[in-house]
Structure 1
Amino acid sequence: MILAAGRGERMRPLTDALPKPLLRAGAKALIEYHLENLARAGFSDIVINHAHLGYMIEAALGNGKRYGVNIRYSHEPVALETAGGIARALPILGGEPGNSPTEKPFLTVNADIYCELDFSTLLPVMEHMEASPDKDLAHLVLVDNPGHHPAGDFALDSDRVALSGENKLTFSGIGVYQPKLFKNVMPGSMARLAPLLREAIAAGKVGGQYYRGAWVDVGTPERLRLLDLQLDSAGARSGSGSGSGWSVVQSTD
């Protein structure tokens, strides 16, 4: 699932006439990098939620055929925050809150980040979570802390995420979730993801991994401009997993 329903207030006036996922950096719209990287990794069925100017996202991406994927859309009359948007889309993703623990985990990625993570590295995680549905509710990809967020979000002890500890890292906006993480979120209601994650982490139900490559939260016009310059200078590379020397900016829920 690509999370694309945010209004993009910090990106105004750019987002007054265009939804943030369609803003361009390098040669492509932000969301196109995700679609291509997901297809390259073997993901074929993708759900995109949208609210503000969402019809433009559907018009631009269509059914996903030209990207090698099948896209379905989850429309939100008003943006429902991250957890609320996921809960609303669960029937499309193949499961609803409260169903049996055999529901399949799914990958989510924020539309407003640029990232060169090889998403295929998360396939074994998804398979393990499906095989052991009672172990973890989530698996988070964490990145280095940006200068303006030195405290980080969560600690990582080997492959386990903790609320506190040394060398805390920042949540990238990329995660794998069990549908039952959202069992108490009423479909159609607004709900943030962070409280659900903190509760699951406190219960020892969240795994994670550290990603060192290119990752940028494109949250302001200036960050978009810098990303555009970086992609142009790098030949608009994507999916390489390298990216040393790239700026890293906090992703927030």
Structure 2
Amino acid sequence: MSVTGVVKRPTPIKTIGILGGMSDKATIEYYKFINAKINAQYGGWEIGETLIQGCNFGNIEYYVRNNAWDEAREYLETKAKLAEAGGADILVCVSNTMHKVLDRLPQILSIPFIHITTPTAEAIKAAGLNKVALLGTKPVMQADYIKAEYAKYGIEIVVPSEVQQKEVDRIIFDELVKGKILDDSRQYYINTSLALAAEQGAQAIILGCTEIFLLIGQADLPSLPVFNTTELHVDAAVKLATT
């Protein structure tokens, strides 16, 4: 602020690039979280500087269902480059699942790319935990790419049974990405989480899909710490954008 009391404009906030559309519901929540957190920090009418590079979720669903990961990589790398060219200073991708094909972004972009697992792993370690259950799409629960990221922090990941994975995945694709929030599905996620704690020794639950927090949260699992990858990812982006 100047000696006359006039705030210097524009407010020096970096532009957060949002690689979105995976799904549009998650993208909306990222945008809302970013603006709310920046407004809480700065007050007044301040919100974030953002650039949304949207993807067609129909393409994403096709790539995932058909294991077309090479096509997905080419598609998303192109979108990431467009976000950088459009003026993004930082980039986040709103999908845990699609981080499978984003491993080359640190090499092909000149702006920081915040991996979705990093802030969640840091929060888990800060809580003193080392064995955590992961809920997400089937590619997230079955493959090694997300588990390997958590393993860098000494965190062991456990996942639901094959039958449970199928239903957890179905609820994401058939309900959550379409904005359907059903009580029966909430109870299924709660029961699955409690079983992971009782049967596999999970000390906490990672909401490893960016729509899951719309269905369940800490209030639904009072006996287990819940780590919401969506909000933790946004926290990291806002911190970098405002420093």
TM class by smaller structure: 0.3 to 0.5
TM-score using structure 2 length? 0.36
Higher-helix-fraction structure = 2
Q: Whose radius of gyration is greater, 1 or 2? A: 2
TM-score using structure 1 length? 0.35
